[in-house]
Amino acid sequence: MVKIRLRRVGKKKQPSYRVVVTDSRKPRDGKYIEAIGTYNPRTEPSSIELNADRALYWLKQGAQPSGQVRNLMKINGVWEEFASSKK
């Protein structure tokens, strides 16, 4: 199964994340199919960059987002666009 999830990058105690599309059997920081965005929780407010076109493409292909990625997509408006396109 293909999942959209966060991949941790950054130094020790200074995390930032990449939003990646990967096989669910791969480890958290292992190989991935495609990087579609970034998330930095350390800035105020948190910075979220997401390639909406690629995210929608992968969602339509059946990729399942993790809970945190779904929340990030809701903040960016990608999740609502996907939900409205399914109807």
- What are the pLDDT digits (tens) for 9-36? 999 999 999 999 999 898 888 899 999 9
- Does the predicted TM-score (pTM) go above 0.75? yes
Instruction: Give residue 2's pLDDT.
Output: 94
Return d(Cα 32, Cα 30) in angstroms, integer. 6
Return d(Cα 87, Cα 68) in angstroms, integer. 24
If one counts the domains in the chain, the total is 1
Instruction: Give residue 35's pLDDT.
Output: 95
Domain extent for 68: 2-86
pLDDT in tens, 57-81: 999 999 999 999 999 999 999 999 8
Instruction: Give residue 87's pLDDT.
Output: 65
Q: Following CA atoms 79, 83, 86, 87 in sequence, which dihedral angle do they give, to the nearest 10 degrees?
A: -160
**What's the CATH number where 20 sits?**
3.30.1320.10
